[in-house]
Chain A
Amino acid sequence: MQWFVILKKEILENWRNFKWVWVPIVFIIFAVMDPLTTYYLPKIMDAVGGVPEGSIIDIPMPGAVEAMMMSFGELSLLGVLITVVIAMGVISGEMKSGVYELIMSKPVKYSNYITAKFASVVLLILLSLILALITGWYYVLILFGDIAFTALLTSIAFYGCYFLLIIGIVLMVNTWVQSPGVVAFLSIIFIIALNALTSIYGHIFTWSPALLSDYIQVYLASGELVSEIWYSALVALLFTYLCLQFAILTLKNRAV
């Protein structure tokens, strides 16, 4: 009950500050941009000319899976960045402004507070992600070729786990410092470290959540869900859970 009250308030807030409008739009633009330019750039260059006679521009057209992965790739970069920015102030901002003290003078359970905030960001980001990837998929379908819709949905489900982890990390950092800017900075360092470690020791950490998009590519190309994709997703969910637990603990101890 209390959990829903906080969640509803967060959703209303995100509606009033237009996050529900701009975040999905921006995600869609991210997802569509790359496949679209890849398809049209050579054609435009052809049409405009200016290329010396006789020189052959030979940019091989990517296949449908590669094009789809461009959408995923953009979101892994810019989408993650936007996600961090969206989540950087959800708790630290309330602490900084002081409204936190007023809210916590009511019998609010710390676990409700954290998980409801988590849910509100997850709702916004996952819906944006789904809209964006479906739009990206539609463009790929028209321009590059077929990918089964069910395969797309499965991919989105796994990809979503990675974003859950990102949001979990940002929320955990939220409870450490009271400046949203610093929260964003620390979170990005965390995420970069995760990706860097994975790219160096990827052969050992085959279960790293940062590999999820690689496994999705394999899945889209072969239609086969390798066992590692399950491990990666599970690890992502587990770490998300731990981040939230840690955040709850931090808030509780702050009160002591």
Chain B
Amino acid sequence: MALLDANHLTKTYKNVNAIQDVSFSLEHGKCVALLGPNGSGKTTTLRMLAGFIKPTSGDIAFDQDSLTKDFRNFVGYLPQFPVFHNWMTGKEFLIYVGQLAKLSKDEAIKRADELLELVNLKEVRKLKISKYSGGMKQRLGIAQALIHAPKLIILDEPASALDPIGRREVLNLMRELKKDATILFSTHILNDAEEVSDEILLLNEGHIIEQGSMHELESVQNTVTLKLAFSEEPKFIEDRLKEIESVFKVNQIDKDYLLTVHDLQTARKQLLEVVYQENWQLTKFEVAKTSLEDLFMKAVKK
């Protein structure tokens, strides 16, 4: 059963559609990445699901109940650039938002302590937030999103603005969270999506252009990428490679040749024959899986 169904969401700002006819559903317990280039409408979509803005048309149903008026009760939201009351301590802030989310003071204190432990901010809980580093603030942001044990956790670019260490911390945390929560997060970084998500929604220019599990998306594409490298650059290699019938695209990245092929078996046979005939000094022959990047680029270029 779906936790959330978004039906034909459209948001118009001054006659410009930020997102248009976006429909999808989130299953219980899944971690879904909303992937897309900057300006594709990710933040608008998330803000809508967080109850912060209302759609121009379309509706959002929680637990198949489209009458739920204020679903902020069930959603924890981390904005792209979370800002806190910097004069508060981390713990004070968590208790404050906990109480705003209708926890009693005792519950809020208890929950704040648990979450500070979880996001590894226990040592700095009595420090003013103004003294926190970027990574600490991001983790505090995640903690505040979790304070009222929401059914759905929405994270807007949770790891994008962080240094590699901070990013690693956040991704590990998300992996921890996805064990028992439904997560929807946006990112423009493919690796992050590949690393933690079960499903992907690919958004471009306000439209959803692909959606499904990682596995589905790969098989839909039905192509394989081969990676070849040679010790010395053979002459006319590109032309020669293009002549092979099973190869329909050749790209060169640094010294690697990326070949997009339809049928792995035939392509391998034909390729190796050519390599043998021409006596090319092959140093690398790799079957790369269709990476999300290819998918992403293809989808966006459509």
A residues whose Cβ falls under 8 Å from a Cβ of B: 1-2, 5-6, 9, 13, 16-17, 97-99, 101-108, 255-256
Contact = CB atoms under 8 A, between A and B. Distances in A.
Contacts of A1: 99, 102
B17 to A, nearest CB: 16
What interface size band does chain B fall in? 20 to 34
Interface stretch (B23-31, B68-76, B109-117): B68-76
Main secondary structure of the interface of A (DSSP, over half): helix
B85 A99 contact: yes
Contacts of A255: 52-54
A19 to B, nearest CB: 12
B87 A107 contact: no
Given A107-B72, A255-B52, A102 B83 contact: yes
Interface string B232-243: 000000000000
B84 A102 contact: yes
- The list of the 9 closest CB pairs from A to B, nearest first, reads A98-B83, A105-B77, A106-B100, A107-B72, A5-B99, A99-B83, A106-B101, A256-B54, A107-B73
Contact of B70 (A6, A97, A101, A107): A107
Contact of A105 (B72, B96, B99): B72
Contacts of A256: 53-54
26 contacts: A2-B100, A9-B85, A13-B85, A13-B87, A97-B83, A98-B81, A98-B82, A99-B83, A99-B85, A101-B79, A102-B82, A102-B83, A102-B84, A102-B97, A102-B141, A104-B52, A104-B72, A105-B75, A105-B76, A106-B100, A107-B70, A107-B73, A108-B72, A255-B52, A256-B53, A256-B54
A2 B99 CA distance: 7
B74 to A, nearest CB: 9
A107 B144 contact: no
B102 A2 contact: yes
Nearest to A104: B52
Contacts of B85: 9, 13, 99
A254 B261 CA distance: 51
B148 interface: yes
Nearest to B54: A256
Contacts of A16: 87
Contacts of B201: none
Contacts of A103: 97, 100
Contacts of B77: 102, 105
Nearest to A103: B100
